[in-house]
Structure formats: C-alpha cells, structure tokens
Chain A
C-alpha cells in the first residue's frame, strides 16, 4: 500500500512537549517481562502435559472411552462317528457382585434375587458380606434366568458370559468322554486326552464406546478368537448303547461288583464302544465315588484266565510243535509241577489241540506250554501287546504285568499259559485278539474315527495259524464248547471264555472274574467284543455263562447295526401279503 506522508509543518498537537508522557522506561519493560513470563509458564505447562506427563494422561483419556473386549471362544464338540453329540458347550451366565454396592439392596430385592437364583437369603447375604471387591454369587446360571435378573437391575449385581459343558449321552459314555472342570479344562477321558485341540483360545478387540455403552469404533488390531476343534471319536453311539445296556443287565443279573465291555472294529482297530459299570452322570457330578469314576476297561488290570489260552496254542501251531488235531492226554484232569497241582474244572480224557481250546483244558494248555523256552513265550506275549500300555493317548492307561522271562519258574510258565500270574487290562486283551481277527497282525487301536486307509498292523502269526485258531474259537461256542450261550443267531462267531480266580492279599480267593472275548463273524471278522464281569454271584461264575450271553447280545446287535449280512443259515417264514411289514 502507498502511504502518503504529510509535509512537515512545525509541531503537531500530540507532539507538544507539555503533553509528553513522562513514563519511566522500566514500567513498559516490566509489563513486557510479566507477559513473557506468563507465556513461558504456559509453554512450560504445555511441555509438562504434552511431553513429560503424556503417557499418564493418554492412559487416563483412553480409560474414559477405550475398552478391551474379550471375545470368548467355545470349546470344541465331541461327536461320535456318525456326528451324534457326546459333549457340547453352551453359553451360561455367571452372576457376580461388587459387595459394597450389593449391600445397598433392600430386603425385598434380596428376597427377589435369592428366589431367582434358587438360593436362600442367608446364603446370598453370606456371599455379599465379603470384604473383597468382587465375588461370585452364582456360576452357570441359565440364560433365561440371567435375563430376568438383568431386567430388574439390582444394585451391584453384574453378569458375565461363560460356557457350560453338556453331555447328552450321560452315563452311557461317561468314562469314554470324561468331563471338564468349570474353567473348561479337561479332567478325565477324551476331554483330558484331547484338551489341546478341544480348547478354544479367546480373542480380544479394542473399541471406543460412547456414553451409552454402544461400541462406536474398532481401534487397533483385533485378535480373532479361535474356537476349539471338534473331535470325532471312533465310537458308534448305537453300539455303545448296546454294549452299555447289555453290560449293565449282565452285572445286575449276576449281582456283580463291576464290569467292562469293549467293541473294536477288527478291520481298522477303531474302538466302537467302551462301557464300564458302575458309572456316573457327567452332567451332575455331586457325590461321586472313586469306583464310579474308574475307567476299568483301560485303567484296571486283572488276571485274565483262559482267554489267554488261544495265544499259547497259536504259538505252538506257529512253531510247528502241534497241529490242529494232535492228541494231548489230559487225563486225569490234574497235573503236578513241583509242589503245585494244576487241575481242570471238569476232568477230560485225551483231547485234540482244538478240543483243548474248545473245552478250555488247563492241563492240555500246560502240556503244550511246557514245550517252549520261557523266552519264546515272553516274546509272543510281548508282541501281542501284554506288559505295555496300548498307546491310545487315553489318561491312566496301564502296562499290565508281564514279568521278565529270565526268572520264570516252570509252574509260572504253566499258569501263565492259561492266564494266571499275568495281569492285563480289558483293552489290552481286546487289542491282542486283533491278531486272530486280522490275519495274524496286531492292530494299533484308535479312539478317533479313521477316515483314510487304516494303519498297518504288526505281523505276529501266519494267516494259516490264525485260520486254524479261528476254527478252534468257533468250536468253543458250539454246544460241546464252554460258551454255547455266546452264540449269535444268524451269524457264525467264535471266542474264548475266561474264568479267573481273583487274588486278594496275595492268595487266590473264591472270587472270580468272568470274561469272554469273541470275534464276529468268525468267517470274515468285523468286530471284536470283549466283556469282563468282576465278581459275579447269584450261582454262576463261569465266563461262558456270565459274560457269554452279554457277548451274544452285543455282537448280534452291533452286527445288525452295521448291516453285516448274516452268514449262518436263515429260515424264511411266509407272511400273508399286506401284513408283512418288518
């Protein structure tokens, strides 16, 4: 801009010396300094807030509107081979309180709340009398109840999501599936064995919330939750139900102490059913006893008795020591080795090797067994899996007891040949029988469903030996054998009974373990069923009488369930047209 200057013409009015203000110079400087100082103070304060104290203030600010939200992840389901639910998590609510706030509730409110939570007012008072800043009032409350509580808005009462595990099949699969604790941690069974894959990892996200608690914006990275993976067991819930109900019936009929049953797929080694009695309801675990919790089929060992004979005889066949029809003199039904005497339950005369199995002669088996070196026998027992855990990955698996062969005495070798002086679990026994069902190969067992090619077994016996052994096992369920009651209508089956004395305090007591391990159908094996009944009474204790019928029911039902065509003669009955619905 252009400034026009006036020409100088004497003094201007304001420049009159009289009107000149006689201000001292320091005053203006003073004001300037003060202002400067005030500015400096502001800058210093700003520096203090923005740089030195920044983190603290930022944090305070964030806490006003930023929230970390946990995104819960659910635990994986456990399903059977057909996808039926065995264990499933569903959300529940936890009711918790801030005690100091909760104590401001009126008596009327307290009564209302305790009524909704199904607890007494005194109990509620006890919970909120706590000096802590946080206390659980009740965990695992149903979502409906929680909603009603939320609607009333009790002071100091809050809710939190959590999951509860349900077991729809209940006591039937209790030992197999196991259960979890409140914090989603597997405590027993498959829940424990597959804890790592079942467990869901919760995610989290940081959000900005407005005054009304609505989420307005996501801030920063979101950590997505990882739901636990589902576990598909090899178990077939129909066969499991059959095994469980028949086992229960057998235990109750013979007033026994306990029992176990296992069904294995002979082709793949999958465990189709595993039942124990006594059992418990995993959905309501109050008043549980150790006996109920024990998964006997896997964690308990017993002296198996005669179900071991086929292994001894198969070894003799394999080594060429005897043939199918070699005659063995079992008269007079007793035999003395050292100071001990071995006897048969029923004395027999001369028997063929096949008849030794059919009639379950201890003397005959002993005579065959004494032809082996201890090492040979030990190696055979070892190769069919006795004395070593079955490697299912199941908690509490046991090795059983198979003593080293170096200090076997002849009497021990003799008793071991018919299943005494050796301890096995039911699952080991059932697994060992895969040798006979799978053409001489010992199959690894599997808890989970095998979708692709089943694993290869380890060869123990030749197919020829096994073929002969299966013929002997089939003879055992004929009317002349020990277990005619184990026959299955419509199918050819085979198996071996076991009736073993129990050891109590180091001596054999007059208590028995009755067992039956069978293969069905025997011509083209599909299933191995092992049944064990502990301390049967009510007048029967032989394996063929006690465990045989249960085998028959389980095997028959399971074969029908699997749609295996009958291979035994079937009569055709004529039914009038129209009514013939089956």
Chain B
C-alpha cells in the first residue's frame, strides 16, 4: 500500500517537474519568436525607409539637374534621328 503510494508520489513529482521544464522551454521559444517578429518588423520599417530614400534620390528634378549640369545632356531635336551609316545602308537593302 505504502509502496504503491510512494510510486504514485514519485510519478506526480516527475510529472510536475516535466510541466515546469516544458513551460520554461515554451516561454524560451515564445521569446525567441517574439524577438524574431520584432526583427521582422524592424526590417520592414527599414525597407520602407530605404524605399523612401531611394525615391528621394531618384526624384525627377534631381535627375534632370544632374543630366543637364554634370553630364551636359540635351534633349535631342526630335525631327532629326541620328543613325550610323552602316545602319542606314542596312536599312536600304
């Protein structure tokens, strides 16, 4: 009788310890998940900021300014199409 009770008690204690460990593990994993989710959010935010930065660098007035002032580009006269002689000859045949 006593021995049977002792065995039951042992099982209960072992189960209780098991619950404690698994709870602890679950919380550890949950925290890891939280950290990763936070990181995902952070990266998302950073992506948005980079997109914003990209569109600021790529805005049209800036592109036009660089094209005109630094690279000395001009809008071609659209009634004139430049072509290499080879291309013209090729087109003629």
Contacts and interface: CB of A to CB of B under 8 A. Distances in A.
B36 interface: no
Interface residues of A, number: 38
Interface in A210-240: 214-218, 237-238
Contact of A215 (B31, B58, B59, B88): B31
Chain B interface, >50% SS class: helix
Given A90-B45, A168-B59, A573-B83, A216 B27 contact: yes
Nearest to B56: A168
B84 to A, nearest CB: 5
Given A172-B60, A215-B31, A580-B84, A571 B78 contact: no
B80 A570 contact: yes
A560 B83 contact: no
A582 B48 contact: no
A576 B56 CA distance: 39
A410 interface: no
A565 to B, nearest CB: 11
A574 B86 CA distance: 10
Interface string A360-400: 00000000000000000000000000000000000000000
Contact of A575 (B55, B64, B84): B84
A580 B86 CA distance: 11
Interface in B49-93: 49, 51-52, 55-56, 58-61, 64, 76-86, 88
A577 B84 contact: yes
B76 A573 contact: no
B48 A88 contact: yes
A194 interface: no
A560 B77 CA distance: 12
Interface string A560-582: 10000010111111111100101
A241 B61 contact: yes
Interface of A: 74, 84-85, 88-91, 166, 168-170, 172, 214-218, 237-238, 241, 245, 489-490, 556, 560, 566, 568-577, 580, 582
Which of B64, B76, B81 has its CB near the most chain A CB atoms (within 10 A)? B81
Contact of B30 (A166, A215, A489): A215
A490 B31 contact: no
Contact of B81 (A556, A571, A577): A571
A404 B45 CA distance: 56
Nearest to B58: A84
Contacts of B58: 84
Give the top 8 A-B pairs by smallest Cβ distance, nearest first. A241-B60, A168-B55, A490-B78, A85-B55, A575-B82, A489-B78, A580-B84, A489-B79
B52 A582 contact: no
Given A166-B52, A168-B52, A570 B79 contact: yes
Contact of B82 (A214, A556, A580): A580
B51 A88 contact: yes
